[in-house]
Structure 1
Amino acid sequence: MKTVKNGLKGKDRVVKLKVILFWGLFLVASCKMADPTADIEDITPSETPDNTDNPAPPSDTDTPDPAPADRELNEGLLDDIDLDYMSYRSAPAEYQNFVVVYSDESDGEISLKEQVCCTFNQAKLNYSLVDMEDFKTEISTYLAVLDSQDVLVFASERLWRLEEIERNLLLKAIEDGTNSIFLINTRYDDDIFKSAVGITSGGTVWPGGSGIRITKNIFPGFDNTYISSIDFLNSASIAFELSTDATVIAESSEGTPYIWKYNHGLGNIVYTNSSLFQGKSFRGLLLQCLSLVPDYFLSTQYNSALFYIDDFPVSIPAGEIGTDLLEPYEGMSKIDFINHVWWPDIKNLQESHNLKYTALAVGNYINVTEGDLYEFTDEDRENFAYHGALLKEVGAELGIHGYNHVSLVLNSEFTDDTTSTKWPGISAMSSCLNDLKRMMDDLFDHIPYYSYVPPMNRMSSSGKTALLDVFPQISNIAAVNQGIENYGDLIQEIEEDPIFSHWFDIPRFSSGYLQGDNEKWLIYDALAYSGVFSHFIHPDDAMDTVRNEGNNWDSMYSQFDNCLDEIFSDFPDLKRISSAQMAKITRAQEGMDVYSWKDGNSIRIRYSEGATPVYHYLRIQPGQGIESVQGGTVKALQSSSGLYLLTGTARDVTVNLHP
C-alpha cells in the first residue's frame, strides 16, 4: 500500500506551500481537534489463516469509542489502558522448565549466558542455571529430572570435557526423549556426538562469512532474510556436512550451515554452528529456535508498537535554511519544511497505520550549559504552541527531551567521550530543565509529563537525579537497547530502572526512515523475543546527509511507509500505545511469573500475579491446530510453523489442541 500525500507530489507541493506559508502560526487557533483516542486497539483475536500481504483496515470493533473533543494533551492517557489486576497465587506442582548449562571461563561464554538470561527473563521462561563442571559431575541427577516438556540448553562450548561415560549418558537421554538446544559450537571432535546432532563429516575451523541467511520460515519476517553486518555475525564456525534428515534454519552467505534441527531417537535437537548468540541482535532468533525443540512452547511478550518523535515540539529560527534538503525542497527554511511538508506526511502515516505517537519536546539547539544561557523567546513559545496543537489533534503523548540537546551527563562522567558538551553540575541541569518546564506549563496548562528520552540517547545517574527533581511524574525513560556504554549511551532492557525503581526503562530498538535488511532485522528480531516494535524518528532526518543517505524526503517517506506496511501486515494486531502506556503495562506485569504445562491434549497456563491481558507466542506442532481456548483468545500468526498469538484474559488459561 502506498498512501497519497495530500494529493500533491514534489514541486507541485512547493507551489502550494508558497501560497500557505504566510498563514504560519494562525493555525494554532484554528486547528480542528480530532479524536485523540483513536489509538489503542481492543484486540479480540480469533482463529484465522495466515496474514495476507494486504491487511484489511481496522473494523469498527477495533477502535475505542471517541473521547471528548476537548480532551487535553496527556489527559486520560493512562486510563486508556484497561488492566485487570490479580493477587498472588503460588506455582503449580509441575511446569515446563529449561535447564541452562553454562560456563564463565571465557568472555564469549559470559556474554552468551547474559543474552540467554536476558532473553529468558523477557519471555518469562522458568529456567535454572547449572555450571558446566557441576553438570559434568552430577549429570545423572540433572538428566533424571527432565521430562518431555523440558529442554536442556547448552550455553557452553566445553562439552569436550565430558568423559565417554558422561557423553553416553547424555546421548542416551536425548535418544529416549530429552529435548536439547546447543547455542554455541561445542568444538566437540567426537564422531559419536557429531553423528547424534546430525553431522556426517567435516571439522575444519572456517574463518567466517560475509553474512547469514535465514532459510527456514520460523517467524514472520524471518523468511529468506539476509543480514550482512551485525555484531557477532562473522564469528568462526566449522565446515560441516549434515545428514539429509537435518533441517537447516540458517546458513552463511557461502552456504555453511549455522543452525539446524535434527532428531536423535525421540529427542529433538537444535544445534548452532556459530557464536552469533553472544550478541544482542539475535535474541529473537535464539528464542524462536528454542521454540522448535519441545512439543509446545510458550513465551510472554507485549504485543505492542511504540512510535517516538524525538525533537518535537521544536523551536528553530524562522530564517534558518535546511541546507541539506534535496530537491524539490532545497532552499526551504527548516521550520517551514517541518510544519508544512514533514508534519502533513507524519500525520498521514499516523492515520494510515493507526500509530500512537510519543513526541519529545526540545527547547533549543544552543548547546550551552553554563554562563550566558539561552532564554526562550516569543517565537519559541509560538512554535511550541503550534506543535502542541498538532499533537493534540492526533492524540499523541507529549514528553520531555531536554532544555537543549545536551545529554544529562556531567563533565566528570564518561571521560572516554572528549568531544561532547556536558554539564558542570546537577544544579545546572535542574535549573535549565526548570526553564523548559515553566515555558511548557504556561503553554499547556501544567499537564503531567510521563515520558523522557535523553538527548543523543545518553544519560548518567546524575542526570536521572536532576530529571526526577524537576519532573517527578516521569514514569519511564526511553533510550536504546544497544550502544557504546563507556560513551554514556543509556543501554536498556524493558524493566524497572536499576537506579530509580519508581520508573521503567522502555528502550527503542530501531530508528530512521530508511530500513535496509540489517535495520529490518533489528525490528523483527526484537518482535521475536519481546513482541515490541519500538521506533524513533526526527523531524530533521531529511536535512542530514548521513541520515537521508542521498534520498529526498519523498523517497524517505515512501520507503518508510512501505516498511510499516510490511510490519503491520505481518503483525496486524500490535497494540499502538504510547511510552507512558507501555510503562503502566510493564509495571503491572513486572513481577508476574508464568507457568505452563501439558495436561493430556491441553496446554495449561497460570499467572502468579500481575494483570491481564497477557500476550504470548504459542508454538505447537505444525498441522496440529487448536480446538478451543478457555480464559483467553488465539489467532494464527504463522500456521505453517505452528505459531500463534495467544491472549490470556483470566488467571488460568487452557488451550485445547485438536486430537
Structure 2
Amino acid sequence: MKKSFYLKRNVYIMLIAIILLAVGVQISRTQYILQFSKNKSLVENHRIASQNPGRTIEYGGPAYCVVYDSIDVGSVKVNDNVLRTLQYMKKKTVSMDIAQKPLDLNGCSVAIITDYSLEEMGHISTLSSFVEDGGYIMFTNKLELDQEFYQIYRKIGIVASGSSAQVQGIKLNSNVLIGEKDLVVDDPFINNDSNSVELDDSSELLASSISGVPLLWKREYGKGAFMVFNGTMFQEKINRGLFAGAISLLEPDYIYPVFNAKLMFIDDFPSPIRQGTISSIYDEYHRDIPRFYHDIWWPDMLKLAKRTNLKFTTVLIQSYNDQVKGPFSSPVDEDRYNLISYGREVLKSGGEIGIHGYNHQSLQMSQVVADNYGYKVWPNVEEMSASIKEALRYANNAFPNYDIVSYVPPSNMISKEGRDALKKAWPNLTVISSLYEEDVTNMSYIQEFEVAKDGIIEFPRITSGYMDSPFERWAEANSMTSLGVFSHFVHPDDVLDEVRSKNLPWSKLNEGMSEKMKRVQKTYPWVRAKTATEAAIDMEKVLNSSVTWTRAGDSIHGMISNFQTDNYFILRTKKSILKTTSCVVSKIDENTFLVKASKSKFEIRLDG
C-alpha cells in the first residue's frame, strides 16, 4: 500500500511540474506575442501621424532675438546651433543679421549675441538699457576688447581684463549641465579662445577652464541679467547642451520640453559570428568566439539591461560578404539559427530588432567614400534596393508577425541614393538612426532629431563604446540637458578588435560598461528606457505639438496644442513647488525639476 501511495504522489508531482512548465512557456510566448503587437501598434500610430509630414509649428510667447553677423563664419556657426537649440526648446525666435541692418531689440525678451564685436551693435547703451529695463542678454562668443567692450564690461561683471589665449578643458562650478556640478573635463577636444578676465563679487561663476579662466557667468543688472560666455566652443554642435543650460539659468522659472528617452543600440547583432578562437577570449573563458558570445557576452548584456533599466535596439546583418550586385539570396554565411535564438531573447526582453543591412557595405555610390571605409561602390539604386529587400525577407522569415521598421546605416554612412533605395525597398521604414555629432571627414550621415519631409523619423545616436571617455561623457551630459536623450551604441565584436577594445579583455569592458550605465542611471534616474521606434514615435508627437506658456501671479500655465501623449519638461526655478494640476513635478537636481504633463492644459504653482 505504501508503494502505491508513493507512486501516486510522484505522478501528481510530475503532473504539477508539467503544468507549471506549460504555464511558464505560455507566459513567455504571451510576452513575445505582446511585443509583436506593440510594435505593430507603434507603426500604425506613426502612419497616422505622418499623414502631414514636415508640418511647420509656430511658437508663441516672447521672442528670442538671435543676433549674428553673416560675414563672420564663427558667428554664423554659433547662430545655427543657437537657433536649432531654441527650436528644440520650442521658443519663438527672430534671427537678426547685423551685416544687413542695425540692431533693433524692440519686441525681444531675450537677445542672444553671437558676434564677437560689440562695435557692430551700434550704441552700446542700447544693450545695457535693454537689460536694466528687465530684458536678458547672452553673449555666446568671446568678446573683442574694443572701445565698446570697455563701455559695458563692468555691467557684465568684469573688473579687469587682459589679452586672449587658448585655454583647455572645462570645470562646471554649477549644474548648468543637469546633474553634472563639479564635472571636470580636461581634454584637448574642449578648447577655447578666451579673454583673461577677473569677475566682480556679484557675478555667479558657472564654468571655468582647467587653468581657472572664467568661461561662463551670470551677472544681474537692473531688472534683468547678462549671461556671458568667454569662449568659442559654441561653434560646435556637441556643446549645444551648455548653451541650453546657460539660457535656462538666465531667465527665472524657465521651462522647456525634452524627449525623455534612453536608448541602447547593438549594431551588427544578430549577425554571422566569426568562427575560431582568439587568445584574449580563450585565455580568460576557454571558449571559442561563438560560445563566448552565447555563454558570456550575451548573458552579461542581458544582466546589464535588467540592472540598469535598458531596452536594446539590435540591428541585424545577414552576411559579411562584400557583394554589391545581385542576386543576394541565401549567402553562405547567413545564420538563421542565431537570428531566431538571439532575436527571440531581444524581443522577450522588451527590445527591438531593426536592419543594419544585407551586408556591411554602406549604401552609397562614391569611390572616395568607399575607399575611406574599405568598402565597395554600389553600382546603382536598384542593386542597393534589392539587397535591402533580401535582408527584410530574411528577417521576416524568422519573425513573420513582426514589423521591422528601424534602420541603422553601416558605418553610419548612407548617401541620398542609398536613402532613396531604402524608401523604394521598404515602404514601412519608420526611423533611421545614424549620428548626431559632426564628422571631421564630412562622410557620415549626420542627423537632427526631426521628422524628414518624406515622413521618416530621424533619431540619431550620440555616444558609443563600452568604456567612458572624456568626449563621450561630455556629449552625453550636453544631450541630456538640451534634449533629455541618452542614445548610445556598441558592437558585439568590439571585444575582438584591439583598437575598439583598447586592448582590454571582456571582463574589463563589461566592468566599464556596467559602471558607465550605473552612473547614467544614478545621474538621470528619471529618463525612460525606450527602443528606437518607441522613442522616435514619442518624439514625433512632441515635435508635432506646440506649447503656450502664460503666467498668472505665482503660477505657470501650460497649454499643449495637438496633445497626444504625456509630455515632459525641464523646469529651472529657485522657488518651491506649492501645487500642481494635471501634471507631476519631480526634483531631479538642485533647482531643477522634471514635469510630466498628463493633459493638454496644466498648471504649476510656485512659492512666489
Does the TM-score normalized on the shorter chain lie above 0.5? yes
Determine the structure 2 residue equivalent to 1:100. 66
> Aligned to 2:569, what secondary structure does the other structure show?
strand
User: Where do 1:91-490 residues align within 5 Å?
Assistant: 95-133=61-99, 136-137=102-103, 139=104, 142-143=105-106, 145-146=107-108, 150-163=109-122, 166-189=123-146, 190-206=149-165, 208-229=166-187, 231=189, 233-317=190-274, 319-322=275-278, 325=281, 327-329=283-285, 332-370=287-325, 375-377=330-332, 380-411=335-366, 414=369, 417=372, 419-445=374-400, 447-484=402-439, 487-490=442-445
> Aligned to 1:466, what secondary structure does the other structure show?
helix
Instruction: State the AA in 2 paired with 1:434.
Output: K
Alpha-carbon distance, 1:584 to partner:
1.5
1:491 aligns with 2:442: no
Query: Is the 1:132–1:158 contact (alpha carbons within 8 Å) kept by the matching residues of 2?
Result: no
| Larger displacement relative to structure 2 (510-519 or 172-181) | 172-181
1:465-518 CA distances to partner (integer Å, 9 max, x unpaired)?
Answer: 2222222211000001024376531100110125xx221100001111101232
Separation in structure 2 between the aligned mates of residue 113 and residue 346 of structure 1, nearest angstrom: 41
> Aligned to 1:248, what secondary structure does the other structure show?
strand
> Aligned to 1:540, what secondary structure does the other structure show?
helix
Determine the structure 2 residue equivalent to 1:636. 587
In structure 2, relative to structure 1, the CA distance for the partners of 1:412 and 1:253 (3 Å cut) is same
In structure 2, relative to structure 1, the CA distance for the partners of 1:175 and 1:392 (3 Å cut) is closer
Separation in structure 2 between the aligned mates of residue 285 and residue 487 of structure 1, nearest angstrom: 24
1:76 aligns with 2:38: yes
Alpha-carbon distance, 1:335 to partner:
1.8
Give unmatched runs, 5+ long, in structure 2: 1-21
1:524 aligns with 2:524: no
Task: State percent identity of aligned pairs.
Answer: 24
In structure 2, relative to structure 1, the CA distance for the partners of 1:412 and 1:391 (3 Å cut) is same
Query: Is the 1:249–1:259 contact (alpha carbons within 8 Å) kept by the matching residues of 2?
Result: yes
Query: Is the 2:319–2:333 contact (alpha carbons within 8 Å) kept by the matching residues of 1?
Result: no
What's the C-alpha RMSD, in Å, of the aligned pairs?
Answer: 3.0
Determine the structure 1 residue equivalent to 2:535. 582
In structure 2, relative to structure 1, the CA distance for the partners of 1:82 and 1:438 (3 Å cut) is closer
Instruction: State the AA in 1 paired with 2:134.
Output: G
Instruction: State the AA in 1 paired with 2:267.
Output: D
Alpha-carbon distance, 1:413 to partner:
7.3
Query: Is the 2:61–2:548 contact (alpha carbons within 8 Å) kept by the matching residues of 1?
Result: yes
1:650 aligns with 2:605: no
Query: Is the 1:627–1:656 contact (alpha carbons within 8 Å) kept by the matching residues of 2?
Result: yes
> Aligned to 2:321, what secondary structure does the other structure show?
coil
| Larger displacement relative to structure 2 (395-404 or 187-196) | 187-196
Determine the structure 2 residue equivalent to 1:16. none
> Aligned to 2:38, what secondary structure does the other structure show?
coil
In structure 2, relative to structure 1, the CA distance for the partners of 1:222 and 1:81 (3 Å cut) is farther
Separation in structure 2 between the aligned mates of residue 447 and residue 71 of structure 1, nearest angstrom: 9
Separation in structure 1 between the aligned mates of residue 438 and residue 292 of structure 2, nearest angstrom: 31
Give unmatched runs, 5+ long, in structure 1: 1-29, 37-66
Determine the structure 1 residue equivalent to 2:13. none
Match of 2:457 among 490, 501, 504: 504
Separation in structure 2 between the aligned mates of residue 33 and residue 551 of structure 1, nearest angstrom: 39
Query: Is the 2:39–2:402 contact (alpha carbons within 8 Å) kept by the matching residues of 1?
Result: no
Separation in structure 2 between the aligned mates of residue 464 and residue 103 of structure 1, nearest angstrom: 35
Alpha-carbon distance, 1:290 to partner:
0.5
Separation in structure 2 between the aligned mates of residue 197 and residue 135 of structure 1, nearest angstrom: 25
| Larger displacement relative to structure 2 (384-393 or 300-309) | 384-393
Instruction: State the AA in 1 paired with 2:595.
Output: L
Instruction: State the AA in 2 paired with 1:395.
Output: G
1:374-415 CA distances to partner (integer Å, 9 max, x unpaired)?
Answer: 843486112212212222331211110111111111146747
> Aligned to 1:338, what secondary structure does the other structure show?
helix
Alpha-carbon distance, 1:134 to partner:
6.2
Separation in structure 1 between the aligned mates of residue 440 and residue 209 of structure 2, nearest angstrom: 30
Query: Is the 2:329–2:390 contact (alpha carbons within 8 Å) kept by the matching residues of 1?
Result: no
Alpha-carbon distance, 1:343 to partner:
0.3
In structure 2, relative to structure 1, the CA distance for the partners of 1:82 and 1:363 (3 Å cut) is closer
1:338-378 CA distances to partner (integer Å, 9 max, x unpaired)?
Answer: 11110000110111122111110111222232379684348
Determine the structure 1 residue equivalent to 2:11. none
Instruction: State the AA in 2 paired with 1:635.
Output: S
Separation in structure 2 between the aligned mates of residue 238 and residue 477 of structure 1, nearest angstrom: 42
Query: Is the 2:435–2:447 contact (alpha carbons within 8 Å) kept by the matching residues of 1?
Result: yes
Instruction: State the AA in 2 paired with 1:652.
Output: K
Alpha-carbon distance, 1:186 to partner:
2.4
Separation in structure 2 between the aligned mates of residue 274 and residue 35 of structure 1, nearest angstrom: 58
Alpha-carbon distance, 1:583 to partner:
2.1
Query: Is the 1:160–1:188 contact (alpha carbons within 8 Å) kept by the matching residues of 2?
Result: no
1:163-217 CA distances to partner (integer Å, 9 max, x unpaired)?
Answer: 4xx21232122123222111112214332311111111123121x1231111223
1:574-603 CA distances to partner (integer Å, 9 max, x unpaired)?
Answer: 111111112222222223222223221111
| Larger displacement relative to structure 2 (350-359 or 167-176) | 167-176
The count of corresponding residues between Structure 1 and Structure 2 is: 581
Instruction: State the AA in 2 paired with 1:472.
Output: P
In structure 2, relative to structure 1, the CA distance for the partners of 1:320 and 1:542 (3 Å cut) is same
> Aligned to 1:474, what secondary structure does the other structure show?
coil
Alpha-carbon distance, 1:237 to partner:
0.9
Alpha-carbon distance, 1:316 to partner:
1.9
Query: Is the 1:96–1:597 contact (alpha carbons within 8 Å) kept by the matching residues of 2?
Result: no
In structure 2, relative to structure 1, the CA distance for the partners of 1:296 and 1:35 (3 Å cut) is farther
Query: Is the 1:160–1:186 contact (alpha carbons within 8 Å) kept by the matching residues of 2?
Result: no
Query: Is the 1:401–1:455 contact (alpha carbons within 8 Å) kept by the matching residues of 2?
Result: yes
TM-score in terms of structure 1 length: 0.82
In structure 2, relative to structure 1, the CA distance for the partners of 1:337 and 1:68 (3 Å cut) is same
| Larger displacement relative to structure 2 (556-565 or 479-488) | 479-488
Separation in structure 1 between the aligned mates of residue 394 and residue 461 of structure 2, nearest angstrom: 28
Alpha-carbon distance, 1:519 to partner:
1.3
Separation in structure 2 between the aligned mates of residue 327 and residue 156 of structure 1, nearest angstrom: 58
Instruction: State the AA in 1 paired with 2:38.
Output: G
Alpha-carbon distance, 1:267 to partner:
1.9
> Aligned to 2:168, what secondary structure does the other structure show?
coil
> Aligned to 1:401, what secondary structure does the other structure show?
strand
TM-score in terms of structure 2 length: 0.88
User: Where do 1:507-656 residues align within 5 Å?
Assistant: 507-620=460-573, 622=574, 624-638=575-589, 640=590, 642-656=591-605
| Larger displacement relative to structure 2 (441-450 or 510-519) | 441-450
Separation in structure 1 between the aligned mates of residue 455 and residue 326 of structure 2, nearest angstrom: 34
> Aligned to 2:119, what secondary structure does the other structure show?
helix
Instruction: State the AA in 1 paired with 2:510.
Output: Y
Separation in structure 1 between the aligned mates of residue 371 and residue 272 of structure 2, nearest angstrom: 31
In structure 2, relative to structure 1, the CA distance for the partners of 1:289 and 1:279 (3 Å cut) is same
Instruction: State the AA in 1 paired with 2:69.
Output: S
Separation in structure 2 between the aligned mates of residue 33 and residue 457 of structure 1, nearest angstrom: 39
> Aligned to 1:653, what secondary structure does the other structure show?
strand
1:603-644 CA distances to partner (integer Å, 9 max, x unpaired)?
Answer: 121223242311111111x2x211111121111111x3x211
For CA contacts below 8 A with separation 6 or more, give which structure has more relative contact order: 1
Separation in structure 1 between the aligned mates of residue 261 and residue 26 of structure 2, nearest angstrom: 23
Determine the structure 2 residue equivalent to 1:57. none
1:75-95 CA distances to partner (integer Å, 9 max, x unpaired)?
Answer: 32264799999999x989x73
Alpha-carbon distance, 1:220 to partner:
3.2
